[in-house]
């Protein structure tokens, strides 16, 4: 009970922007009219609700997952960041191949639920930690680098700008506010470590070299080539 109380206390007396839920809905309807959209609602939570929209656009070769709720709270952007006012609100997005199916209700432990878990945990992280995330930031599932589910080896991810959609879609602008929609690129454990040790640009170079797409590949090859014992010895 003490843990629940601390969560409730952490999120009390915060300024909530509940209208952002509706802004995200309107944005999706504007860009994907007459498109099937399924929403995985978060019903019970002790912090704040993050819903997941599954957009099944017939005209594209992929489906889209977008969070709704991350932007209901303002992230704590450091003043030294460039244009901090424009970075306060964000939602997460992931493009997934056609054919990936989910159960009607998200529980976190069913087939493919790990994909939704990646977005939900990322969306909650900056508010739980009184921090922020933006382009180039990396994130892990937990302190132990555990995979997001039993059916994946992904343990974290990096926040990227979308290369599929332009700013007309990735920025919701209304009433003097901006809600940024960032793309989540999942990573294996050694890829997260590589990014931490070498920086965002080095990891981005690896992504480009591998010609990795923005669309999720659940079985993609590791970006970091494993060195042989001999090559390590010769260094």
Q: Where are the beta strands (DSSP E) in 19-130?
A: 36-40, 51-56, 62-68, 89-97
Q: From CA 58, how far away is CA 32, in angstroms rounded?
A: 10
Which is more confident, 181 or 59?
181
Pairwise CA distance, residues 82 & 86, whole Å: 9
Q: What are phi and psi for residue 120, nearest 5 degrees? A: -65, -45
Instruction: Give the mean pLDDT of 182-209.
Output: 97
47-105 tens-digit pLDDT? 999 999 999 988 899 999 999 999 999 999 999 999 999 999 999 999 999 999 999 99
Q: 91-95, 147-151, 165-169, 223-227: lowest mean pLDDT where?
A: 223-227
Q: Which residues contact 85 (CB under 8 A, 6 or more apart)?
A: 77
State the Cα–Cα distance between residues 20 and 201, nearest whole angstrom: 32
pLDDT tens digits for range 186-199: 999 999 999 999 99
Q: Is the pLDDT at 45 greater than 80, yes or no? A: yes
* Residue 228 pLDDT: 39
**Average pLDDT in the chain:** 93
Share of the chain above pLDDT 70, in %: 95
Query: Which ranges constitute the DSSP H helices of 153-199?
Result: 167-170, 189-198
Average pLDDT for 7-18: 91
What integer pLDDT is reported at residue 226 of this predicted model? 61
Please state the rounded mean pLDDT for residues 186-214. Answer: 97
Could you tell me what percent of the chain has a pLDDT over 90?
86
pLDDT above 60 for 235: no
Q: What's the pLDDT band for 44 if we cut at 50, 70, 90? A: confident
pLDDT at residue 106 is higher than 90: yes
Task: Decide if 187 contacts 155 (C-beta within 8 A).
Answer: yes
Average pLDDT over residues 32-60: 93
Tell me the domain boundaries of the chain: 2-234
Per-residue pLDDT at 193: 97
- Going by DSSP bridges, is the β-strand pair 177-187/89-97 parallel, antiparallel, or unpaired? parallel
So what's the pLDDT on residue 3? 78
Ramachandran category for residue 34: left, alpha or beta (phi over 0 → left; psi -120 to 50 → alpha): left
- Identify the band that residue 225 occupies on the pLDDT scale cut at 50, 70 and 90: confident
Nearest to 46 by CA among 76, 89, 6, 91: 6
Instruction: Give the per-residue pLDDT at 78.
Output: 96
- The mean pLDDT of 154-176, rounded to a whole number, is 98
């Amino acid at each position: 009970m003490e843990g629940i109380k601390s969560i409730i206390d952490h999120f009390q007396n915060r300024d909530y922007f509940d209208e952002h839920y509706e802004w995200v809905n309107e944005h999706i309807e504007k860009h994907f009219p007459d498109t099937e959209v399924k929403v995985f609602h978060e019903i019970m939570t002790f912090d704040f609700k993050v819903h997941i929209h599954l957009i099944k656009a017939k005209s594209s070769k992929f489906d889209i997952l977008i969070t709704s709720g991350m932007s209901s709270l303002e992230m704590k952007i450091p003043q030294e960041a460039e244009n901090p006012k424009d970075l306060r609100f964000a939602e997460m997005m992931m493009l997934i191949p056609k054919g990936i199916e989910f159960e009607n209700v998200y529980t976190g432990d069913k087939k493919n639920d790990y994909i939704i878990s990646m977005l939900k945990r990322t969306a909650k992280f900056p508010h739980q930690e009184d921090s922020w995330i933006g382009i180039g930031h990396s994130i892990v599932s937990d302190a132990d680098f555990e995979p997001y589910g039993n059916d994946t080896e992904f343990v974290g991810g990096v926040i990227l700008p979308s290369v599929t959609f332009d700013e007309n879609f990735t920025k919701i602008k209304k009433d003097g506010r901006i809600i940024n929609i960032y793309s989540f690129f999942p990573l294996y454990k050694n890829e997260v470590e590589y990014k931490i040790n070498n920086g965002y640009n080095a990891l981005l170079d690896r992504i480009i070299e591998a010609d990795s797409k923005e669309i999720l590949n659940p079985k993609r090859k590791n970006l970091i080539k494993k060195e042989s014992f001999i090559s390590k010895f010769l260094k």
